[in-house]
Amino acid sequence: MTKQLPLGIRLRDHATFDNFFIADNRQLVVTLQQAAAFEGGDTAALYIWGGAGSGKSHLLQAACHRATVADEFAGYLPLRDHKMFTPELLEGMESLALVCLDDIEAIAGQREWEEAIFHLYNRMQRNGTQLIVAANAAPQGVALSLADLVTRLGWGLVFQLNELNDEQKLLALQARAEAIGMQMNNDVARYLFSRARRDMHSLFSLLEALDHATLVAQRRLTIPFLKAFLARDQVTSD
Examine the pLDDT at 32 and tell me if it is beyond 90.
Answer: yes
Strand partners, 4: 74
* CATH for 191: 1.10.8.60
Residue 16 DSSP code: S
12 and 84 part of one domain: yes
The helix-helix angle for 186-194 and 200-217 (nearest 10°) equals: 120
Which of 142, 160, 178 marks a domain boundary? Answer: 160
55 and 12 part of one domain: yes
pLDDT tens track for 137-160: 999 999 999 999 999 999 989 999
pLDDT tens track for 204-226: 889 999 999 999 999 999 999 99
Provide the residue range defining the domain that includes 80: 3-160
Q: Taking all residues of the chain, what is their mean pLDDT, rounded to a whole number? A: 88
Examine the pLDDT at 235 and tell me if it is beyond 60.
Answer: no
The helix-helix angle for 186-194 and 166-179 (nearest 10°) equals: 120
pLDDT of residue 41: 67
130 and 175 part of one domain: no
Confidence category of residue 1, pLDDT binned at 50, 70, 90? very low
Domain count, the chain: 2
Which residue, 141, 142, 134, 143, is CA-closest to 161? 134
As a whole number of angstroms, the distance between CA 179 and CA 204 comes to 12
pLDDT tens track for 162-195: 988 899 999 989 988 988 889 899 999 999 989 8
128 and 189 part of one domain: no
Confidence category of residue 131, pLDDT binned at 50, 70, 90? very high
99 SS3 class: strand
Which of 140, 160, 180 marks a domain boundary? Answer: 160
pLDDT of residue 75: 92
Confidence category of residue 25, pLDDT binned at 50, 70, 90? very high
154 and 192 part of one domain: no
Which of 113, 136, 160 marks a domain boundary? Answer: 160
Examine the pLDDT at 34 and tell me if it is beyond 50.
Answer: yes
Give the pTM: 0.82
